[in-house]
Structure formats: structure tokens, C-alpha cells
Amino acid sequence: MPKIRRINPEGMHPTPGYAHVTIAEGNRRAYLAGQCPLDLDGTLIGVGDIDAQVDQVVNNSLKALAHVDAAPDRVIRSVIYVASPDRADLARVWERLTHSALAPAFSTASTLLGVAQLGYEGQLVEVDLTALLDSFF
């Protein structure tokens, strides 16, 4: 089974749950497209509701990971985009993600960004994940 090691080197600042360094041993990876808060019909969920959008992104991410037989703890890299200049919004998204069923994905090397806008009108959140696979599904 491929191994994942999460490290916070001495002499570096403490983190709110992510690792400064992630080492992944194994050859097969799944690169998920940015997961958006869209439902099965492609309709944006939660216009103006950041919590509803985070929940939909979590749901979509879990489905994509499950399709390749990967649990959230197999994620080796995450990038979180929040369409807001307000750090409180970024913190809110981080808090909701790290208390969701997808939470183990954010214990790895993780980046949280505030951006000007995302791809869909009214979209507030997007999550980009890379997972290490045990085998080819």
C-alpha cells in the first residue's frame, strides 16, 4: 500500500491542521478538477450562501474520490479558492471544510486563497484535490 507522510518541521510556525510538507510514496495519483458547488443538473447551489456552497463542494469531492476508491485521507494536496477579499470568509470556509466528512483531506499540504472571482456567476468556493491511489480503479 502506498504511504503518505505528513510533516511539520521543527522551526516552522504551527498550522491550523494542515502539514507543511507531505511526502507520498506510490505511483498512481488522481487529480480532481476543481470541485464547484453545482448539483447534478449543473445548477449553482447556495447563491450568496457560503456554507451551502462548501457543503455542496464537499459532497461533490467525496463522490469524485469514491469513484476512484480513494478516501479523504488519501489526499496529498489541496487548494481551496474563496471568492472574497475578507479573511473572515476564508477562515469560515476552512473551518467548515475541516469539520466536514472531507476533513482528512485538509491535514495534508494545503493552500487557502482569496480570489477575485471563480468560474460561475455567484460561485464563492472551489476545491482542487490530488489523491494517492492504492491501485488503478
- 52, part of any domain: yes
Distances from the Cα of 89 to the Cαs of 36, 49, 96, 100, in angstroms? 17, 11, 11, 17
Q: How far apart are CA 110 and CA 66, in angstroms?
A: 20
What is the SS3 assignment for 7? strand
Q: Write the CATH number for 38.
A: 3.30.1330.40
- Global pTM value: 0.90
Number of domains within the chain: 1
Side chain identity at residue 119, one-letter code: G
Whether 25 and 2 have beta carbons less than 8 Å apart is answered as yes
77-135 pLDDT per residue, tens = 999 999 999 999 999 999 999 999 999 999 999 999 999 999 999 999 999 999 999 86
- 137, part of any domain: no
Task: Check pLDDT > 50 for residue 137.
Answer: no
Cell of 20: 507543511
Cell of 127: 476545491
Q: What is the pLDDT of residue 134?
A: 80
**Residue 93 sits in which domain range?**
3-132
- 65, part of any domain: yes
- 91, part of any domain: yes
